[in-house]
Amino acid sequence: MKLVSQILIAQDIEKTIQELEALKRDERIITIINEKQFLVEDVKLVTQKAYLTSRTTDVIVLAAPIFSEVVQNKLLKILEEPPPNKEFILITHTQSSLLPTIKSRLPLHYLKEKIALEAFELDMAKLALKDVYAFTQTHQRTPTPKARVLVERLLKEAIASRSYKIDEELLELFTHAYQALDVGSPVPFVLSTLMLKLLAKKRHKQ
């Protein structure tokens, strides 16, 4: 791992940033991180930091589990024509949601642990209404912290299945699910609402 412009695919974003910090010599590392998804407001901050004059190299780290298509398109120009003495490192959970135009601008490296994830209890490619009911019944008494993990896993599995239209609206659904859990909404209600809306985004086979 080097402090040069690149994409890093990693599950533990905080640990990855710590490892980058350990590589620092004369460089200055500027970290812009969002725990849920990178926002247009975050892109504006990236742009502000990128055009600050610096005699030494500034390594700007952009980190989030998800980067929407809108956000990626707004990042394109600065990645194509970076200001002097600026390097950009993008850290995210999966490369499948990254646009080809982004992946063509930066080299991509996997930092995923080699230990396979525990098999998920749902086959997202075959998700049906009956599965929504069974899943919410199973997790009626699931505590909120574990429910947050379930919501995150649902998103990852949905992306990996390539069976859903991954757009700004879908990502917003997951953001609302996190927010609902944070304010104490019942876990079964949050899961069922999210999954029913997710079903509406499922691609129909031709």
Residue 112: per-residue pLDDT: 58
Residue 42 lies in a domain: yes
Range of the domain at 20: 6-110
Q: How many domains does the chain have?
A: 2
The reply to whether 155 and 76 lie within a common domain is: no
pTM score over 0.75: no
Arithmetic mean of pLDDT, 105-133: 81
**Residue 6 DSSP code:** E
The reply to whether 12 and 101 lie within a common domain is: yes
- State the pLDDT confidence band at 35, using cuts at 50, 70 and 90: confident
- State the pLDDT confidence band at 113, using cuts at 50, 70 and 90: low
Residue 149: per-residue pLDDT: 83
Residue 30 lies in a domain: yes
The pair of three-digit structure tokens given for residue 143, joined into one six-digit string: 């505590």
The reply to whether 159 and 194 lie within a common domain is: yes
Residue 93 lies in a domain: yes
Residue 185: per-residue pLDDT: 92
Q: Buried b vs exposed e over 22-43: b needs ≥16 C-beta within 10 Å?
A: eeeeebebbbbebeebbbeebb
Residue 178 lies in a domain: yes
* Final residue in a domain of this structure, among 110, 132, 165: 110
- State the pLDDT confidence band at 129, using cuts at 50, 70 and 90: very high
Arithmetic mean of pLDDT, 178-194: 90
The reply to whether 54 and 138 lie within a common domain is: no
pLDDT(117) > 70: no
> What is the average pLDDT value for the chain, to the nearest integer?
89
The pair of three-digit structure tokens given for residue 22, joined into one six-digit string: 């350990």
The bridge status of strand 86-92 relative to strand 6-9 is parallel
The reply to whether 92 and 136 lie within a common domain is: no
* Final residue in a domain of this structure, among 87, 110, 133: 110
Residue 116 lies in a domain: no
pLDDT in tens, 61-111: 999 988 988 999 999 999 999 999 999 999 998 786 788 899 999 999 988
pLDDT in tens, 138-158: 999 988 878 888 898 899 899
Q: What is the CATH number of the domain that holds 49?
A: 3.40.50.300
Q: How many CB atoms lie within 10 A of CB 81?
A: 7
